[in-house]
Amino acid sequence: MTLTDWLNESKFKVREYGLVDGITSSAYDFWSGALRRGFHRAGADQLGTSIYDRDWDALVVLDTARVDAMEAVADEYDFLPSHVPPETSLGSTSWEWLHRNFTPERSAELAETAYVTANAHTRRFGDEFQVGPDAFGLLDEVWEYAWDEGFGGMPPESVTDRAISVGRETDYDRLIVHYMQPHTPYRTLDVSNVDSREQGEMTRSEWDLLQTGQLDRDVAWEAYLDNLRWGLDEVETLLENLDADTVVLTADHGEAFGEWGIYGHIRHVPLPELRQVPWVKLSASDDETYEPSLEHAETQVSDDAVEERLRALGYK
Protein backbone atom coordinates (compact mmCIF):
# COMPACT_ATOMS: atom_id res chain seq x y z
CA MET A 1 0.00 0.00 0.00
CA THR A 2 1.45 3.37 -1.05
CA LEU A 3 1.04 6.54 1.02
CA THR A 4 -1.65 7.68 -1.42
CA ASP A 5 -3.46 4.35 -1.03
CA TRP A 6 -3.29 4.68 2.75
CA LEU A 7 -4.65 8.22 2.66
CA ASN A 8 -7.55 7.15 0.43
CA GLU A 9 -8.24 4.17 2.67
CA SER A 10 -8.09 6.42 5.73
CA LYS A 11 -10.62 8.84 4.24
CA PHE A 12 -12.89 5.91 3.47
CA LYS A 13 -12.62 4.54 7.02
CA VAL A 14 -13.31 7.90 8.63
CA ARG A 15 -16.37 8.29 6.43
CA GLU A 16 -17.61 4.76 7.06
CA TYR A 17 -16.51 4.14 10.66
CA GLY A 18 -16.70 7.62 12.16
CA LEU A 19 -13.87 9.96 13.14
CA VAL A 20 -12.42 8.16 16.20
CA ASP A 21 -12.69 4.58 14.94
CA GLY A 22 -11.59 5.58 11.44
CA ILE A 23 -8.45 7.29 12.68
CA THR A 24 -7.69 4.44 15.11
CA SER A 25 -7.98 1.75 12.43
CA SER A 26 -5.96 3.83 9.95
CA ALA A 27 -3.20 4.32 12.51
CA TYR A 28 -2.87 0.55 12.89
CA ASP A 29 -2.76 0.23 9.10
CA PHE A 30 0.01 2.82 8.90
CA TRP A 31 2.02 0.99 11.57
CA SER A 32 1.59 -2.35 9.79
CA GLY A 33 2.68 -0.81 6.50
CA ALA A 34 5.76 0.74 8.12
CA LEU A 35 6.76 -2.64 9.58
CA ARG A 36 6.25 -4.34 6.25
CA ARG A 37 8.38 -1.86 4.34
CA GLY A 38 11.09 -1.81 7.01
CA PHE A 39 11.48 -5.57 7.25
CA HIS A 40 11.36 -5.99 3.47
CA ARG A 41 14.04 -3.36 2.83
CA ALA A 42 16.25 -4.92 5.51
CA GLY A 43 15.81 -8.38 4.00
CA ALA A 44 14.45 -9.70 7.29
CA ASP A 45 11.58 -11.39 5.46
CA GLN A 46 13.88 -13.67 3.44
CA LEU A 47 13.54 -16.55 5.87
CA GLY A 48 11.89 -19.92 5.76
CA THR A 49 12.08 -23.38 4.24
CA SER A 50 10.62 -24.44 0.91
CA ILE A 51 8.03 -27.18 1.17
CA TYR A 52 10.00 -29.05 -1.51
CA ASP A 53 13.06 -29.18 0.73
CA ARG A 54 11.09 -31.42 3.08
CA ASP A 55 9.96 -35.02 2.75
CA TRP A 56 6.21 -35.62 2.32
CA ASP A 57 3.79 -37.48 0.10
CA ALA A 58 0.76 -35.39 1.05
CA LEU A 59 0.90 -31.85 2.39
CA VAL A 60 -2.28 -30.70 4.15
CA VAL A 61 -2.41 -26.92 4.50
CA LEU A 62 -4.72 -25.21 6.99
CA ASP A 63 -4.68 -21.56 5.98
CA THR A 64 -3.59 -19.24 8.86
CA ALA A 65 -3.24 -22.08 11.42
CA ARG A 66 -0.97 -21.07 14.29
CA VAL A 67 1.19 -23.47 16.28
CA ASP A 68 -0.27 -22.39 19.63
CA ALA A 69 -3.82 -22.65 18.27
CA MET A 70 -3.25 -26.22 17.13
CA GLU A 71 -1.78 -27.07 20.51
CA ALA A 72 -4.85 -25.54 22.18
CA VAL A 73 -7.15 -28.09 20.51
CA ALA A 74 -4.67 -30.99 20.26
CA ASP A 75 -6.30 -33.03 23.02
CA GLU A 76 -9.50 -33.17 20.94
CA TYR A 77 -7.82 -35.07 18.07
CA ASP A 78 -6.03 -38.40 18.31
CA PHE A 79 -3.73 -37.57 15.40
CA LEU A 80 -2.35 -34.36 16.94
CA PRO A 81 0.58 -34.32 19.38
CA SER A 82 0.36 -32.17 22.49
CA HIS A 83 3.52 -30.38 21.35
CA VAL A 84 3.17 -29.22 17.76
CA PRO A 85 6.53 -28.95 15.96
CA PRO A 86 7.08 -25.58 14.25
CA GLU A 87 8.53 -24.76 10.85
CA THR A 88 9.36 -21.37 9.36
CA SER A 89 7.15 -20.59 6.39
CA LEU A 90 8.41 -18.78 3.31
CA GLY A 91 5.68 -16.19 3.71
CA SER A 92 3.44 -14.32 6.10
CA THR A 93 0.60 -14.35 3.54
CA SER A 94 -0.73 -16.87 1.03
CA TRP A 95 0.55 -14.68 -1.81
CA GLU A 96 4.12 -14.88 -0.50
CA TRP A 97 3.86 -18.60 0.25
CA LEU A 98 2.65 -19.40 -3.25
CA HIS A 99 5.10 -17.02 -4.92
CA ARG A 100 8.15 -18.38 -3.12
CA ASN A 101 7.36 -22.12 -3.03
CA PHE A 102 6.18 -22.62 -6.60
CA THR A 103 9.03 -21.41 -8.80
CA PRO A 104 10.51 -22.39 -12.19
CA GLU A 105 13.44 -23.99 -10.35
CA ARG A 106 10.95 -26.52 -8.95
CA SER A 107 9.47 -27.47 -12.33
CA ALA A 108 10.29 -31.17 -12.00
CA GLU A 109 8.61 -31.39 -8.59
CA LEU A 110 5.63 -29.33 -9.74
CA ALA A 111 5.04 -31.65 -12.68
CA GLU A 112 4.59 -34.50 -10.18
CA THR A 113 2.37 -32.52 -7.80
CA ALA A 114 -1.42 -32.54 -7.64
CA TYR A 115 -2.66 -29.38 -5.93
CA VAL A 116 -6.25 -29.28 -4.64
CA THR A 117 -6.98 -25.84 -3.30
CA ALA A 118 -9.64 -23.58 -1.82
CA ASN A 119 -7.36 -20.53 -2.02
CA ALA A 120 -8.28 -18.10 -4.80
CA HIS A 121 -4.77 -16.68 -4.96
CA THR A 122 -3.97 -19.53 -7.36
CA ARG A 123 -5.54 -17.31 -10.04
CA ARG A 124 -2.18 -15.47 -9.91
CA PHE A 125 -0.35 -18.43 -11.49
CA GLY A 126 0.95 -17.29 -14.85
CA ASP A 127 0.43 -13.65 -13.90
CA GLU A 128 1.92 -12.36 -10.64
CA PHE A 129 3.52 -15.75 -9.94
CA GLN A 130 6.41 -17.06 -12.01
CA VAL A 131 4.84 -20.38 -12.95
CA GLY A 132 1.62 -20.98 -14.82
CA PRO A 133 -1.22 -23.30 -13.81
CA ASP A 134 -0.01 -25.88 -16.32
CA ALA A 135 3.24 -26.28 -14.36
CA PHE A 136 1.41 -28.63 -11.98
CA GLY A 137 0.66 -32.21 -12.77
CA LEU A 138 -2.88 -31.35 -11.70
CA LEU A 139 -4.35 -28.12 -10.36
CA ASP A 140 -7.88 -28.44 -8.97
CA GLU A 141 -9.10 -24.96 -8.01
CA VAL A 142 -12.09 -25.98 -5.93
CA TRP A 143 -12.83 -22.35 -5.08
CA GLU A 144 -13.87 -21.78 -8.69
CA TYR A 145 -16.87 -24.12 -8.61
CA ALA A 146 -17.68 -24.79 -4.94
CA TRP A 147 -17.67 -21.29 -3.45
CA ASP A 148 -20.44 -20.78 -0.90
CA GLU A 149 -22.01 -17.39 -1.57
CA GLY A 150 -24.16 -17.53 1.55
CA PHE A 151 -21.19 -18.20 3.79
CA GLY A 152 -18.94 -15.87 1.83
CA GLY A 153 -16.09 -18.35 1.64
CA MET A 154 -14.99 -21.94 1.06
CA PRO A 155 -16.30 -24.56 3.49
CA PRO A 156 -13.76 -27.37 3.92
CA GLU A 157 -16.03 -30.29 3.01
CA SER A 158 -15.71 -29.60 -0.72
CA VAL A 159 -11.92 -29.67 -0.50
CA THR A 160 -12.01 -33.00 1.30
CA ASP A 161 -14.24 -34.46 -1.40
CA ARG A 162 -11.93 -33.39 -4.19
CA ALA A 163 -8.74 -34.39 -2.35
CA ILE A 164 -10.03 -37.92 -1.73
CA SER A 165 -11.07 -38.27 -5.36
CA VAL A 166 -7.74 -37.00 -6.66
CA GLY A 167 -5.87 -39.26 -4.26
CA ARG A 168 -7.78 -42.31 -5.43
CA GLU A 169 -7.90 -41.55 -9.14
CA THR A 170 -4.40 -40.22 -9.86
CA ASP A 171 -0.85 -41.30 -9.17
CA TYR A 172 1.24 -38.17 -8.74
CA ASP A 173 4.27 -38.26 -6.46
CA ARG A 174 2.90 -35.53 -4.22
CA LEU A 175 -0.50 -34.19 -3.23
CA ILE A 176 -1.16 -30.77 -1.69
CA VAL A 177 -4.54 -30.19 -0.05
CA HIS A 178 -5.12 -26.53 0.81
CA TYR A 179 -8.06 -25.75 3.11
CA MET A 180 -9.05 -22.16 3.86
CA GLN A 181 -9.88 -22.84 7.52
CA PRO A 182 -9.19 -21.40 10.05
CA HIS A 183 -9.03 -18.24 7.90
CA THR A 184 -11.92 -15.77 8.11
CA PRO A 185 -14.86 -15.72 7.71
CA TYR A 186 -15.57 -17.42 11.04
CA ARG A 187 -18.67 -19.58 11.00
CA THR A 188 -19.60 -18.70 14.61
CA LEU A 189 -18.99 -14.96 14.40
CA ASP A 190 -21.32 -12.64 12.52
CA VAL A 191 -19.42 -9.36 12.45
CA SER A 192 -22.55 -7.48 11.40
CA ASN A 193 -23.92 -8.19 14.89
CA VAL A 194 -20.72 -6.87 16.50
CA ASP A 195 -20.52 -3.62 14.54
CA SER A 196 -22.53 -1.15 16.64
CA ARG A 197 -22.08 2.04 14.62
CA GLU A 198 -25.06 3.81 13.25
CA GLN A 199 -23.37 5.38 10.24
CA GLY A 200 -21.78 3.73 7.23
CA GLU A 201 -22.95 1.04 4.88
CA MET A 202 -19.95 -1.30 4.94
CA THR A 203 -19.61 -4.02 7.57
CA ARG A 204 -16.24 -3.78 9.26
CA SER A 205 -13.87 -6.74 9.17
CA GLU A 206 -12.91 -8.73 12.24
CA TRP A 207 -9.55 -6.95 12.23
CA ASP A 208 -11.02 -3.44 12.07
CA LEU A 209 -13.35 -4.32 14.94
CA LEU A 210 -10.46 -5.65 17.00
CA GLN A 211 -8.41 -2.54 16.26
CA THR A 212 -11.15 -0.24 17.51
CA GLY A 213 -12.14 -2.34 20.53
CA GLN A 214 -15.58 -3.25 19.19
CA LEU A 215 -14.63 -6.94 19.19
CA ASP A 216 -13.03 -8.63 22.19
CA ARG A 217 -9.86 -10.57 21.39
CA ASP A 218 -11.02 -13.63 23.35
CA VAL A 219 -14.24 -13.78 21.34
CA ALA A 220 -12.33 -13.56 18.05
CA TRP A 221 -9.80 -16.16 19.23
CA GLU A 222 -12.53 -18.63 20.16
CA ALA A 223 -14.16 -18.13 16.74
CA TYR A 224 -10.76 -18.75 15.14
CA LEU A 225 -10.30 -21.97 17.15
CA ASP A 226 -13.77 -23.10 16.08
CA ASN A 227 -12.80 -22.61 12.45
CA LEU A 228 -9.61 -24.57 13.12
CA ARG A 229 -11.68 -27.44 14.52
CA TRP A 230 -13.84 -27.27 11.39
CA GLY A 231 -10.75 -27.79 9.26
CA LEU A 232 -9.29 -30.48 11.52
CA ASP A 233 -12.54 -32.44 11.43
CA GLU A 234 -12.12 -32.64 7.66
CA VAL A 235 -8.46 -33.58 8.00
CA GLU A 236 -9.56 -36.50 10.16
CA THR A 237 -11.85 -37.70 7.36
CA LEU A 238 -9.09 -37.19 4.80
CA LEU A 239 -6.58 -39.27 6.78
CA GLU A 240 -9.00 -42.20 6.78
CA ASN A 241 -9.55 -42.03 3.02
CA LEU A 242 -6.13 -41.38 1.53
CA ASP A 243 -3.10 -43.60 1.01
CA ALA A 244 0.06 -41.69 1.90
CA ASP A 245 3.06 -42.91 3.88
CA THR A 246 4.15 -39.42 4.91
CA VAL A 247 1.52 -36.75 5.50
CA VAL A 248 2.49 -33.34 6.84
CA LEU A 249 -0.10 -31.08 8.44
CA THR A 250 0.97 -27.46 8.16
CA ALA A 251 -0.11 -23.92 7.28
CA ASP A 252 0.94 -21.41 4.67
CA HIS A 253 1.22 -18.74 7.37
CA GLY A 254 -0.28 -17.80 10.72
CA GLU A 255 -2.56 -15.05 12.00
CA ALA A 256 -1.91 -12.07 14.28
CA PHE A 257 -4.35 -11.02 16.98
CA GLY A 258 -2.66 -7.79 18.04
CA GLU A 259 0.93 -8.98 18.48
CA TRP A 260 3.28 -6.11 17.56
CA GLY A 261 0.13 -4.11 16.80
CA ILE A 262 -0.70 -6.31 13.82
CA TYR A 263 -4.11 -7.78 13.12
CA GLY A 264 -4.63 -10.46 10.47
CA HIS A 265 -1.65 -11.06 8.18
CA ILE A 266 0.44 -8.90 5.88
CA ARG A 267 3.38 -9.55 3.59
CA HIS A 268 7.07 -9.37 4.52
CA VAL A 269 6.65 -9.45 8.30
CA PRO A 270 8.73 -12.09 10.18
CA LEU A 271 6.47 -12.01 13.23
CA PRO A 272 6.58 -15.51 14.81
CA GLU A 273 2.78 -15.64 14.96
CA LEU A 274 2.79 -15.21 11.16
CA ARG A 275 5.86 -17.14 10.04
CA GLN A 276 6.04 -20.04 12.50
CA VAL A 277 3.63 -22.72 11.28
CA PRO A 278 2.81 -26.28 12.38
CA TRP A 279 4.79 -29.12 10.84
CA VAL A 280 3.12 -32.30 12.08
CA LYS A 281 4.18 -35.58 10.48
CA LEU A 282 1.41 -38.16 10.10
CA SER A 283 0.44 -41.04 7.84
CA ALA A 284 -2.79 -41.92 6.07
CA SER A 285 -4.53 -45.09 4.96
CA ASP A 286 -7.56 -45.33 2.72
CA ASP A 287 -10.07 -47.29 4.78
CA GLU A 288 -12.83 -46.15 2.40
CA THR A 289 -15.01 -44.79 5.20
CA TYR A 290 -16.17 -41.93 3.00
CA GLU A 291 -17.37 -41.66 -0.59
CA PRO A 292 -16.96 -38.17 -2.11
CA SER A 293 -19.80 -36.77 -4.19
CA LEU A 294 -18.43 -33.46 -5.51
CA GLU A 295 -17.05 -33.65 -9.03
CA HIS A 296 -14.67 -31.25 -10.68
CA ALA A 297 -16.46 -28.67 -12.79
CA GLU A 298 -15.06 -26.38 -15.47
CA THR A 299 -16.22 -22.91 -14.46
CA GLN A 300 -15.21 -19.54 -15.82
CA VAL A 301 -14.78 -17.10 -12.96
CA SER A 302 -14.23 -13.48 -13.98
CA ASP A 303 -11.34 -11.43 -12.61
CA ASP A 304 -13.86 -9.18 -10.88
CA ALA A 305 -15.44 -12.18 -9.19
CA VAL A 306 -12.02 -13.38 -8.04
CA GLU A 307 -11.25 -9.99 -6.53
CA GLU A 308 -14.66 -9.97 -4.83
CA ARG A 309 -13.99 -13.37 -3.29
CA LEU A 310 -10.58 -12.26 -2.07
CA ARG A 311 -12.18 -9.16 -0.54
CA ALA A 312 -14.67 -11.44 1.23
CA LEU A 313 -11.66 -13.12 2.81
CA GLY A 314 -10.27 -9.80 3.97
CA TYR A 315 -7.89 -9.01 1.11
CA LYS A 316 -8.06 -5.51 -0.33
Q: Give the closest residue to 51 by CA, choosing from 239, 249, 266, 267.
A: 249
Cα–Cα distance, 100 to 61 (Å, whole number)? 16
Predicted model pTM: 0.90
Angle in degrees, CA 163, 99, 160, rounded to 5 = 10
Cα–Cα distance, 27 to 262 (Å, whole number)? 11
Which run of H or E residues covers position 278? strand 276-284
Q: Give the closest residue to 173 by CA, choosing from 122, 118, 108.
A: 108
Buried b / exposed e across 22-31, counting CB within 10 Å, b at 16+?
A: bebbbebbbe
Instruction: Look at the domain 48-312 and name its fold.
Output: Alkaline Phosphatase, subunit A (3.40.720)
Per-residue pLDDT of the chain (316 residues; tens, 9 = 90+): 676 776 777 777 787 778 877 787 777 777 677 777 776 787 777 889 999 999 999 999 999 999 999 999 999 999 999 999 999 999 999 999 999 999 999 999 999 999 999 999 999 999 899 999 999 999 999 999 999 999 999 999 999 999 999 999 999 999 999 999 999 999 999 887 665 444 444 567 899 999 999 999 999 999 999 999 999 999 999 999 999 999 999 999 999 999 999 999 999 998 999 999 999 999 999 999 999 999 988 777 777 776 777 766 666 5
Cα–Cα distance, 182 to 66 (Å, whole number)? 9
